[in-house]
Amino acid sequence: MSARKLKVVLTRRLPDAVETRMRELFDAELNLTDRPMSRDELAAALQRAEVLAPTITDQLDAELIAGAGDQLKMIANFGAGVDHIDIDAAVGRGVIVTNTPGVLTEDTADLGMSLILAVSRRIVEGAGVVEAGRFEGWSPTWMCGRKLWGKRLGVVGMGRIGQALARRARAFGMQVHYHNRKPVPDMIAEELGATWWDDLDQMLARMDVVSLNCPATKETHHLLSAERLARLQPHAILVNTARGELIDEAALVEALDRRALFGVGLDVFENEPKVHPGLLGRANVVLLPHLGSATLEARQDMGDRVIANIMTYQNGHRPPDRVIPAML
Ligand SMILES: NC(=O)C1=CN([C@@H]2O[C@H](COP(=O)(O)OP(=O)(O)OC[C@H]3O[C@@H](n4cnc5c(N)ncnc54)[C@H](O)[C@@H]3O)[C@@H](O)[C@H]2O)C=CC1
Ligand SMILES: O=C(O)C(=O)CO
């Protein structure tokens, strides 16, 4: 391939070092305002970019992709999840889509474990009591949460992050169970002492903690429907660091109203950044603003990964993180 630099359009600010490197390597157009692009702005960017480098909040649906100019060759996503991109539409037009898996795995798993700990041990609620000056002294029966040691964790989606979470949970003495499209290789199952459940409904009914770690796809939309939420045990904890669309949020609020769960920890929401009002103000619900990959290190690594994908393409090779419809 020629030494000509590719025209790369970034939809948001990225870490400084990533932007600097992008400018060195490519004909990079930065979004210095950091204001998310409107649909019209995205459509216009798709008319001039050879490579669009969007983030997970840019909705690139079939209509937008169909309207892209012929110069568009690649969508190099800053983020692991690609549910905001119509992959079929892109691939159908010969546009390569890449993402940034792996480099945010440990950080997102840390956050998942933090949510499990925060909900089970009532950490946010307890901190609020002290902060409000309402701590009146230790009591044998006050503010008791749930023990994790020896309890069952059910991971839904035993991929990179699911496995990294399972490793952490093992260190906390939990027994690992999982539901995945297919069982993980024996070596990994053995390392994690993990039990595979073909039937999600059956697994949900037996877990003490359930963590969602699969991508948002047509198949996983409202995977935790009202019916499935009703299968959870009343002492169960539900944590979601994957995508909000996996849970029917209105049904979750009803389940919380019925005290059908011990507690919930969410990093992602169905209509992000909107949060269902019924989730707010509850002592047993911990809500975070989509912080899974929010470490300086992960964000730098994600940027490096975007650059590696574009560079590989610019050099005439197959980008390492190419997303193909069959993977989803
Ligand atoms: N909160 C945050 O900031 C972050 C959230 N994420 C989300 O986490 C998701 C998972 O990321 P990775 O672990 O890196 O992906 P991955 O591709 O390594 O793992 C996903 C797993 O889910 C499984 N899966 C897919 N469909 C399923 C279904 N219908 N039922 C059961 N299992 C199913 C796959 O077989 C795979 O094992 C991403 O797609 C993204 O949406 C990723 C990074 C950060
Ligand atoms: O990468 C992703 O999919 C996220 O949700 C944020 O890093």
Is residue 206 among the annotated active site residues?
no
How high does pLDDT run on average in the chain? 97
Q: Where are the beta strands (DSSP E) in 180-309?
A: 195-196, 209-212, 237-240, 263-266, 285-287
Is residue 272 among the annotated active site residues?
yes
| pTM summary value | 0.98
CATH 3.40.50.720, the chain: domain bounds = 7-99+295-327, 105-287
- Residue 120 near residue 148 (C-beta atoms within 8 A): yes
Cα gap 310→320, rounded to integer Å: 10
Residue with CA nearest ligand 1 atom 43: 80
- Residue 73 near residue 9 (C-beta atoms within 8 A): no
Per-residue pLDDT of 262-275, as tens digits, reads: 999 999 999 999 99
Per-residue pLDDT of 72-131, as tens digits, reads: 999 999 999 999 999 999 999 999 999 999 999 999 999 999 999 999 999 999 999 999
* Pocket test residue of 104, 161, 288 for ligand 2, highest count of atoms within 8 A of CB: 104
Going by C-alpha positions, the residue among 296, 315, 234 that lies closest to residue 17 is 296
Q: Is the CB of 290 under 6 A from ligand 1?
A: yes
Residue with CA nearest ligand 2 atom 1: 79
CATH classification of 7-99+295-327, choosing from 3.40.50.720, 2.160.10.10, 3.30.465.10, 1.10.10.10? Answer: 3.40.50.720
CA distances from 81 to 101, 204, 299 (A): 8, 24, 14
Q: Is the predicted pLDDT of residue 193 greater than 80, yes or no?
A: yes
- At the top level of CATH, the class of 105-287 is alpha beta
**% of the chain exceeding 70 in pLDDT:** 99
Ligand lying nearest the CA atom of residue 54: 2
Cα gap 178→170, rounded to integer Å: 13
Token pair, residue 155, equals: 């991971």
Ligand lying nearest the CA atom of residue 78: 2
Residue with CA nearest ligand 1 atom 36: 159
Helices (H), 149-295: 160-171, 186-192, 200-206, 226-229, 249-257
- Which residues have CB under 8 Å from 132's CB, separation 6+? none
Q: Which is the closest atom of ligand 2 to the Cα of 298?
A: 7
Q: Which is the closest atom of ligand 2 to the Cα of 82?
A: 3
Ligand lying nearest the CA atom of residue 83: 1
ipTM beyond cut 0.85? yes
Per-residue pLDDT of 12-57, as tens digits, reads: 999 999 999 999 999 999 999 999 999 999 999 999 999 999 999 9
Cα gap 223→63, rounded to integer Å: 26
- 215 alpha carbon – ligand 1 mean position (Å): 4
Q: Which is the closest atom of ligand 2 to the Cα of 268?
A: 5
Kindly list the strands in the beta sheet with 96-98, ordered across the sheet, starting from the edge strand earlier in the chain.
Answer: 27-29, 7-10, 51-53, 74-76, 96-98
